[in-house]
Amino acid sequence: GDKAFAQFLTDEIKEEKKIQKHKSLPKVSGGWELEVQGTEARLVRKIAGEKITVTFNINNSIPPSDDDDTQEEQKPDEQEPELTSTPNFVVEVIKDDTKQTLVLDCHYPEDEIGHEGEEESDIFTIREVSFQPTGESDWKDTNYTLNTDSLDWALYDHLMDFLADRGVDNTFADELIELSTALEHQEYIKFLEDLKSFVKCQ
């Protein structure tokens, strides 16, 4: 059984490498520096007096595919829809002269992806906003967290503009999907290779 499993994995790895779009990770425009630790990635950008950090994790970032008839309608010519990784991401804005970090928790709403025609709509939304003490890795539940569900739309728009001014806009969000998808695929291939070595190990 293990032999057949290892053989299957070998074939699978070959196939995945064939369809791998990026041999190296795609860059995000706008002077972002990328740091990757396993499945977590961090993009850092410094602008006058501020440091902006965007963190995301590729685990569970691929939305479940609908096996309904929606798939057939969309792309009759392709057998398998392309898997896209749309991770939640957290934007932290640190101003040099304050002890606080503004934290914005963003995500890609499932129904927004792939809707063309609505040029104006944002492909990501802000879910929560809070202040956290700068330099502390653990966020405190005692800090007030603003949920955007019931938010005044004008305030929400200002928050989105605030992000856009710092380079977190639709273009960035698109490139983040591209980066995350490439990273996810790279990790998946690595996982298959590790699994193969593990299965073969006597």
Q: Per residue in 28-75, pLDDT tens?
A: 999 999 999 999 999 999 998 999 999 999 999 988 776 554 444 444
Query: CA–CA separation, 202 vs 198, rounded Å?
Result: 9
In a domain, 76, yes or no: no
Q: Could you tell me the CATH number of the domain that includes residue 187?
A: 3.10.280.10
Q: Across the beta sheet with 100-107, what order do the strands follow?
A: 33-37, 40-47, 50-57, 89-95, 100-107, 125-133, 145-147
User: What pLDDT sits at residue 73?
Assistant: 44
Domain that holds residue 148: 1-59+83-110+119-200
Tell me the chain's radius of gyration from C-alpha atoms. 20
Domains: count for the chain: 1
Nearest to 28 by CA among 186, 161, 178, 166: 178
Residue, of 85 and 115, whose pLDDT is higher: 85
Strand partners, 130: 103, 145
Specify the pTM.
Answer: 0.84
